[in-house]
Amino acid sequence: MATDMLREIGEQPEALARTLGRLLPLQPELARLLRDRRHVLFAARGTSDNAAVYGRYLVEVHAGRGAALAAPSLATHYAVQRDLSDTAVISLSQSGATEEIVAVQTWAREAGAVTVAITNDPASPLAQGAHIALVTEAGPELAVPATKTYTAQLLAVAVLVDALGPAGPSLGEELARVPSEVAGLVAARHGVDDAIALLARSPHLLVSGRGVVYGTALELALKLEETCLEPVRGLSYADLRHGPIAVVDAGTTVLLVAASHGPMLDPMIELARDLTERGASVVAIGGDQRLAVAATEHLAGPESSEALAPLGLIVPGQLLVEGLARARGLDPDAPRGLSKVTQTDRS
C-alpha cells in the first residue's frame, strides 16, 4: 500500500507547475519592492530553514547581494533593536502559523524591513502580515515529513532571487523546465532501491554537500532523522574535511549530493574517492559519471544548472528516505513525536 509520503512525492511536478504559474507574475512587484534593499535575511525553522540555506547561497551567487540566516531569538527573546531599512526579510513557513517566525516578521517590519512571506496558506498570519506573500500551490500535505511543500518553497525562493536582478543569466527559461525534470526523477527511481538496501544495513550515516546544494544535504539528513529515527549529521564539505572525516571507517555510509555542473563538482568527486579509500560506502545523488564511478551506489540527479539543481536533487533523497523507513518497519507518514506545525517554545 502506497504511503501518503510517497503519493505526495509523486505530486511534486504538478505542485511545482501550479506554484510557478502563480508566482512568476509577481516578479515585477518583487523587483520593485526589493530594488533598494542591499541585504537579505531569511527567517525559518526546520525544513523551511534548509530552504532558507539554499536561498542564502542563491542570493549571494546569483543576485550578488549580501544574505544571511536570521537568528529568531534576537526578536523573540532578546528584543534586539535593529535598523533594517536597507534589508529584505524573507520568512518561510509551510503552514504560515509558526508563532516564532510570525513574530520575527513583525519585528522586521517594525524595524523598517520589506517583508516577504513564503507559505502554503494564503490566510495564514505570516501571509497576511507581509508586504508581499509568495503563496505556494502544493495543496494539502498529509504526511508529516515535508516533501512537496519543501520543493515548492525552493521554487518560490528561486523565483524571488531571479526577480532581484541576477548577476548572471536569468533563470526564467530553466525555471519552466523544473516540473518536467522532477517528474522524470520521480518516475525513474534510478538507483533508489539498491541504495535503500545499502543504508538498511549501515550502522552509521553522514550526509554532505557544498555550496548551493548544501541545504539539500541538511534536508536529507533531517528527513533521515525524523522519518527513519536515525541520528544523522548533515555536514558541509568543509566541515567534514576539518575533523569529522577522522571517524569515517568501514562501518560508515556517506551520502553525497552534488549538481551535475559547477565549481563544487570536482571537490565532491575527490571527497567520494577519499571516503572510499577510508573504507566507507558512498551513496552519491547527482553529479556526473565520474561521481557515479567513485561511489558505491549512485542515484541520478537533474541535468539543470547548479542554481536550480536543489529542486531536483532532493527528489531521489525523498524516495530513499520513504523506502528506508518502510524497510525498517516504520511509518514514514507519522514519525514518532512529530506534528505538522511545530512551535519552538511551548507555552
Confidence of residue 165 (pLDDT cuts 50, 70, 90): confident
Contacts of residue 69, defined as CB under 8 A and 6 or more positions apart, other chains included, come to: 41, 42, 43, 44, 49, 52, 53, 56
Residue 341: pLDDT above 70?
A: no
H or E segment and range at residue 217: helix 214-228
CA 103 from chain centre, in angstroms, equals 23
Banded pLDDT at 77 (limits 50, 70, 90): very high
Contact 340, 95 (CB under 8 A): yes
**347 pLDDT more than 50:** no
Q: Which three cell numbers stand for residue 313?
A: 536533487
The residue assigned the cell 530594488 is 35
Q: Give me the percent of the chain exceeding a pLDDT of 90.
A: 86
Query: What does the pLDDT average to over 282-303?
Result: 97
With contact defined as beta carbons under 8 Å apart, do 298 and 191 qualify? yes
The contacts of residue 65 (CB under 8 Å, 6+ apart) are 37, 38, 39, 40, 59, 164
Q: Is the pLDDT of residue 130 over 60?
A: yes
Dihedral, CA atoms, 265, 323, 197, 269, nearest 10 degrees?
Answer: 0
Give CA–CA dist 81/74, Å, rounded. Answer: 9
Q: 148 versus 346: which is more confidently predicted?
A: 148
Contacts of 235 (CB under 8 A, 6+ apart): 206, 207, 208, 217, 244
Active-site residues, by number, are 340
Flag whether pLDDT at 228 surpasses 70: yes
What residue ranges define each of the domains in the chain, with the CATH number in brackets? 4-178 (3.40.50.10490), 189-327 (3.40.50.10490)
Segment 53-74, tens digit of pLDDT: 999 999 999 999 999 999 999 9
Flag whether the pTM goes above 0.75: yes
Residue 168 above 70 pLDDT?
no
pLDDT digits (tens, 9 = 90+) for 313-332: 999 999 999 999 999 999 99
At 192 the pLDDT is 97
Mean predicted confidence (pLDDT) in 182-199: 96
Identify residue 195 by its one-letter amino acid code: A
Report whether 51 contacts 150 (CB < 8 A).
yes
**3-class secondary structure, 297:** strand
Short-list 175, 214, 203, 180, CA closest to 53: 214
Q: Over 80: is that where the pLDDT of 102 sits? A: yes
Give residue 237's pLDDT. Answer: 86
- Average pLDDT value for the chain: 94
CA distances from 18 to 50, 150, 155, 275, 341 (A): 22, 14, 11, 41, 23
Rg, C-alpha atoms of the chain? 19
Question: Please, which pLDDT band fits residue 238 given cuts at 50, 70 and 90?
Answer: confident
- pLDDT tens-place string over residues 294-320: 999 999 999 999 999 999 999 999 999
The whole-number average pLDDT for the span 225-241 is: 90
Neighbours of 24 (CB within 10 A): 15
